Structure 1
């Protein structure tokens, strides 16, 4: 029986277009996993959506003189198209404005309140007298009370990762008018996380799949003492709070968004004839749920989401794995659209084909520490690994078979020990790549992919079949029979990372359908099979950083992607 695997990626805010760092940590990593599990033959559902609520949306809308709804509808449409261009294979990419999502969030919060985990109380909040509004999370900045970082937001400090309350900021100021706010009393609804500390701790300790960074961060957070977290906010844009007496208040964005993984699953099956199948992914204890996020999102997926699921009383599956990446920096700096630091996902596709970017981003994925994007690093990976190793091996192999054997996979004579060793080693590499993907070590899996083509290249260089053609054509044919099998294996392993390229090779091999199942990667292409004439897969990229920066600047002018 195939496993049921729910793959999810963090919901991007629709205040701006995502940059490459946003993409690799969530969307792209999740897509690689979803494609792999489909190749493995599992029952896979891949969901996410646009986070259209929250104060970042309101702040950006204010800057642009638009309503939040106008801004998010425009950006959701744009980002949905961009993700398709990046070949993100979502089964359902929805939004937090979906009626299914809104109803599910309100229903679930009422269940949590009924179960005794949500309470109401008056509280002190920051209020801007100039703008005559309360200042939740992103509407206020100041110094972090823990690490002293400047420009810490009212919900979280980017530097130390601590979750914050607006009133805990040192020297706070309103981000709209820059004035110092006052403290006023308001009423809010809270989820009492302290009541859930024990089951949350037990879940995290028992979860063997959680990476070390996610596990240690979460357990330390619990150890420091879980405090009640606000469920409601004094803002107009968001899901209306369903609690009695909460008129005019909306749901805090991170409570709203993390419940979207469940609602997106429900929504997907609502449009099929299997409306209740969503339960197989969320209530069947054999199902796996995989989450791909940036490290700043760890507590929302290991603490907040599990807390909500536990408090609902519905016995939902808790996250099976939360794969959290560190940050991708740009030339040593954090991405910033206002300061023109970074590369945005629409700009990237104007510069190079999508599979160049997909391969590079996963091959340099910041899995254990922050990584730094430079054009030199990009050029090296594309030119050395993708073009000279992977692309060269496949093109030289298929071109030789086409020119010297009329495009027919030659019949092997007796496979000698070194021939069989190549096939056995490649099989081991395919198995190794599978283990690495399942463990969340996607960067290592790309290295394994390149090593498969490197094995093929080394084998060809050692055997020199082009010389054997003059004296022992049959032996040369055996060598090309062997490397044809290596090409097939490399094609299957490359498919989660570079789906367009993999399909191009598959079509050249003239094998049936789309790229085959993972466990068929090393099943031989039969002798006598006819292949098509290959075309080069890649080309070398420019290595002059100044020229690439100039090209990026021209694209930004063309797209109008950055503010003046």
Structure 2
């Protein structure tokens, strides 16, 4: 059976955190590994989503080209994937020629088939920068909750979806100017023409989960509306429509087509037939599995299928949706700016891949939101991996080495405890197989741990070291059974902790081609001699040490001596001028009097202060800090501020207003 596996493409304006990783990339890798040891023909593709307004805005704010920004992030993600042992057949990117050409061809087909029409839209336009302001190019006051920094596509405070023209007192994020409303012609995909066929497909689907079906049918009952597929962005895929030379394809429509173009690109990389991808995507029996967050379900059950149907080509719609709820960090939402969470590049520097893979799978938010905590990490590694799985494997290997000359000899079962253990392996493996196919990986761990704990109990109860003295045949049979069990545990857990499973097979001196599902429960058909240099599989972790290491990686809590502190030139300063830095509503440019001179300071104060609030304010300045380039301009100093638990900033000020600018602080 053929399977195409894919996952939500990481957005290339920053690296993924643990929640992003478990919901998509890791889950897809687990499913891919399971299907392969089941004997299926599998392709796993995913990649970096590079286009769209957020990346264009961030590039402007950093003073770099969008491609330079996405190149850097793409390479960082590749390192994270390697560190997590997440191994797609093709990890690609949306800004590549194969994808760009494919997207243009698809939309050209859909246009010629009559599903695209034009419409005049009223959009915000910045007269100063002479550009339209789609989505995140504009911020303003949310009309629903009053949040002052709502974006043009969504308010991050209340979560409401917005359009730029809904914002109160909108501002251009590039220059801070108030935009005007202008008309622009855009191209719309007429989703209304697909309502009935989508309803029939979703309601009759034998592969979509009930959750995905119910969610999607509810949307269809509310009625679909035409969706704009073009934007006025400069960074993106040029629209292939007539008179659309200044428009690009909206990033969401661009990105989902990557599931197809990535397969096409994979075969091109392998120097195979350029049309080989059609044998997969144009075969109605090919299964396609998507691993995504719950908010992305409609894009994969409505938008993407409608695009494929709009081409009139015979694409498979045998879709499977592996969606998750949200993962939080110590009860809070992940936030890099506030230091809440652990990001991929940090995780792989702290612990081996299998430690993270096991822990994240253990708390995978399959039916409800779950919370990552340091205590859960400690429990997963020290208790389940080390004390249960690792301990079992090491005990069995030591018994084989010490009492049986490193050999496992095929033997007939002699004791009821062995029969019961074999029966449990059979029952659990059947349940685990079902859970994998249903994408319930968290529960896989719970089931396999039943075997681990029972096997450890058998060793404690039967005391094989004593059997060796009184009944060697019973001992030999017991060793054979236990060796089979740790082999079978390795197979069942291979999709989740592949390095560990491979190590178990290596220690047992078993060929890797035997790491497949149909081996589970079978006796060894020949004498096995285990490796002599086996070692414990895991090491216990110290959470406090990990926290310290993470803080050091982030430059937090570094102790300095008194002499170093004396090197700092801390002075009282008075802010004379303040304005938004062009290209940002977060960065504010200040002119600050520090006594003997006036210096320029750029800081990320826009979320907490308005420029007018800062003028005349007395502050504390680090006057001899090395100049730093921010958005193409050098900042000559740094303001001292207090940062609360929520990440809010409060500038430090003297408690008397009559302190003169330039006064030393020490």
Matches within 5 A, 1:383-532: 383-514=382-513, 516-526=515-525, 528-532=527-531
In structure 1, the residue corresponding to 2:386 is in which secondary structure? Answer: helix
Task: State the shift of 1:294 in Å.
Answer: 1.2
In structure 2, the residue corresponding to 1:6 is in which secondary structure? Answer: strand
Q: Is the alpha carbon distance of 1:160 and 1:525 closer, same or farther for their aligned partners in structure 2, counting shifts above 3 Å?
A: farther
Q: Residue 45 of structure 1: which of 43, 46, 54 is its match? A: 43
Task: State the shift of 1:150 in Å.
Answer: 7.5
2-side partners of 1:44 and 1:81: how far apart?
23
- Which structure features the higher share of strand residues? 2
Partner of 2:338: 339
Q: Deviations over 1:395-416 (max 9, x none)?
A: 1111211111111003424433
Asked whether 1:540 is paired with 2:553, we answer no
Q: Which moved more, 1:467-476 or 1:20-29?
A: 467-476
Partner of 2:204: 206
In structure 1, runs of 5+ residues without a counterpart are none
1-side partners of 2:177 and 2:369: how far apart?
35
Q: Which moved more, 1:31-40 or 1:214-223?
A: 214-223
Q: Is the alpha carbon distance of 1:178 and 1:401 closer, same or farther for their aligned partners in structure 2, counting shifts above 3 Å?
A: farther
2-side partners of 1:373 and 1:350: how far apart?
18
In structure 2, the residue corresponding to 1:484 is in which secondary structure? Answer: helix
2-side partners of 1:307 and 1:168: how far apart?
28
Task: State the shift of 1:363 in Å.
Answer: 1.1
Partner of 2:359: 360
Asked whether 1:83 is paired with 2:81, we answer yes
1-side partners of 2:466 and 2:42: how far apart?
48
Task: State the shift of 1:535 in Å.
Answer: 0.8
Q: Which moved more, 1:316-325 or 1:302-311?
A: 316-325
State whether residues 502 and 515 of structure 1, in contact with CA within 8 Å, keep that contact through their aligned partners in structure 2. Answer: no
Task: State the shift of 1:76 in Å.
Answer: 1.3
2-side partners of 1:527 and 1:150: how far apart?
72
1-side partners of 2:324 and 2:154: how far apart?
18
In structure 2, the residue corresponding to 1:69 is in which secondary structure? Answer: helix
In structure 2, the residue corresponding to 1:469 is in which secondary structure? Answer: helix
Partner of 2:62: 64
State whether residues 433 and 445 of structure 1, in contact with CA within 8 Å, keep that contact through their aligned partners in structure 2. Answer: yes
State whether residues 436 and 444 of structure 1, in contact with CA within 8 Å, keep that contact through their aligned partners in structure 2. Answer: yes
Q: Which moved more, 1:311-320 or 1:399-408?
A: 311-320
Partner of 2:113: 115
Asked whether 1:229 is paired with 2:227, we answer yes
2-side partners of 1:190 and 1:413: how far apart?
70
State whether residues 435 and 441 of structure 2, in contact with CA within 8 Å, keep that contact through their aligned partners in structure 1. Answer: yes
State whether residues 436 and 445 of structure 1, in contact with CA within 8 Å, keep that contact through their aligned partners in structure 2. Answer: yes
Q: So what's the TM-score if we normalise by structure 2?
A: 0.79
Q: Is the alpha carbon distance of 1:235 and 1:143 closer, same or farther for their aligned partners in structure 2, counting shifts above 3 Å?
A: same
Partner of 2:580: none
1-side partners of 2:148 and 2:496: how far apart?
38
1-side partners of 2:190 and 2:525: how far apart?
63
In structure 2, the residue corresponding to 1:15 is in which secondary structure? Answer: coil
Task: State the shift of 1:240 in Å.
Answer: 0.7
Q: Is the alpha carbon distance of 1:75 and 1:403 closer, same or farther for their aligned partners in structure 2, counting shifts above 3 Å?
A: same
Q: Is the alpha carbon distance of 1:262 and 1:409 closer, same or farther for their aligned partners in structure 2, counting shifts above 3 Å?
A: same
Task: State the shift of 1:163 in Å.
Answer: 5.4
State whether residues 284 and 318 of structure 2, in contact with CA within 8 Å, keep that contact through their aligned partners in structure 1. Answer: no
Q: Residue 20 of structure 2: which of 19, 22, 29 is its match? A: 22
Partner of 1:350: 349
2-side partners of 1:530 and 1:429: how far apart?
27
1-side partners of 2:272 and 2:162: how far apart?
44
In structure 1, the residue corresponding to 2:485 is in which secondary structure? Answer: helix
Task: State the shift of 1:64 in Å.
Answer: 1.7
Task: State the shift of 1:367 in Å.
Answer: 0.9
Q: Which moved more, 1:437-446 or 1:74-83?
A: 74-83
Number of matched pairs: 557
Partner of 1:292: 291
In structure 2, runs of 5+ residues without a counterpart are 557-629, 631-637, 639-666
State whether residues 59 and 65 of structure 2, in contact with CA within 8 Å, keep that contact through their aligned partners in structure 1. Answer: yes
Q: Residue 215 of structure 1: which of 213, 216, 224 is its match? A: 213
Q: Which moved more, 1:216-225 or 1:391-400?
A: 216-225
2-side partners of 1:150 and 1:378: how far apart?
38
Partner of 1:382: 381
Q: Which has the higher contact order (CA 8 A, sep 6+)?
A: 1
Task: State the shift of 1:176 in Å.
Answer: 4.0
Q: So what's the TM-score if we normalise by structure 1?
A: 0.93
In structure 2, the residue corresponding to 1:37 is in which secondary structure? Answer: helix
Task: State the shift of 1:85 in Å.
Answer: 2.3
2-side partners of 1:195 and 1:167: how far apart?
28
Task: State the shift of 1:74 in Å.
Answer: 1.7
Structure whose CA Rg is larger: 2
What is the RMSD of the two structures over their aligned residues, measured on CA atoms?
2.3
Q: Is the alpha carbon distance of 1:380 and 1:167 closer, same or farther for their aligned partners in structure 2, counting shifts above 3 Å?
A: same
Q: Is the alpha carbon distance of 1:208 and 1:157 closer, same or farther for their aligned partners in structure 2, counting shifts above 3 Å?
A: farther
